[in-house]
Amino acid sequence: MRKLEKKDVQMFKQIRLEALEEVPEAFAASYEEEVDQPHAFFEFKLNEETCFYGIFDYETLVGIVSLTQSKLLKMNHKAAIGSVYVAKEARGKGIGKKLLDHVIKTAHELGIEQLQLVVASKNERAKQLYESLGFHTYGFEERALKVNGEYIDEDYMMKFLRN
Extents of the domains making up the chain: 2-160
CA 137 and chain centroid, separation: 17
Residue 73 has pLDDT above 80, yes or no: yes
**Residue 154 confidence (pLDDT):** 98
Q: Where are the beta strands (DSSP E) in the chain?
A: 2-3, 51-57, 60-69, 78-86, 114-120, 136-147, 150-160
Q: How confident is the model at residue 124 (pLDDT cuts 50, 70, 90)?
A: very high
| CATH code assigned to 2-160 | 3.40.630.30
User: Global pTM?
Assistant: 0.93
| Residue 162 pLDDT | 83
The share of the chain scoring above pLDDT 90, in percent, equals 93
Indicate the average pLDDT of the chain.
Answer: 95
